[in-house]
Amino acid sequence: MYHTLLFLHLLAAFALVSTVVIYSAFALGAAGDSRVLAVGNVLWAVGGLGTLVFGLWLAIDLKRYQPWDGWIIAALLLWAAATELGRRAEVGLKPAADVAEAERARAVMFHWLRSLTVLALLVVMIYKPGA
C-alpha cells in the first residue's frame, strides 16, 4: 500500500511541476493559447488534490509521521500559497488583447513567486526538516 500511495503522491507532484513549466513558457513570452493554459490549470487542480489526499494518507498510514508534524504543516502552507500565487498569475497571463502591460508584468512576478514557492515545497518534502 505504501508504494502505491507514494507513487500516486509523486505523480500528483509531477502534475504540479508541469503546471509551473507551462506557465513559465508564457511568462517568458510564448504566444498565448487558452487551451494550453486550461491544461495547466487542470494539471494544477488534479495535482493539488492528489498531493493533498495522498500526502495526508501517507502521513496517517506511516507510524513515523503525523499530519500535524511541522514539515507537513509547512508543506500545506506552501501549497496554499502556491495555489493563490498561481491564481493571481493566471489573470494576467491569459491570452487576451485587453490585458495591460502592467497587469502582465504583475502576473509574471506572481508566476515566478509561485515557482519559488513550489521549489521550497519540494525541498520541504524531500528533506523533511524536523522529522
**What DSSP string describes 39-67?**
HHHHHHHHHHHHHHHHHHHHHHHSTT--T
List the grid coordinates of 42: 487542470
pLDDT tens digits, one per residue of 58-116: 999 988 888 898 899 999 999 999 999 999 998 877 766 567 888 888 999 999 999 99
The range of the structural domain enclosing residue 60 comes to: 2-127
Tally of structural domains, the chain:
1
Cell numbers at 127, concatenated: 528533506
Stretch among 9-13, 19-23, 29-33, 37-41 having the lowest mean pLDDT: 29-33
pLDDT at residue 128, rounded to an integer: 86
Identify the pLDDT of residue 97: 59
Least confident of 26-35, 44-53, 69-78: 26-35
Residue % of the chain over a pLDDT of 90: 63
Is the confidence at residue 39, as pLDDT, over 90? Answer: yes
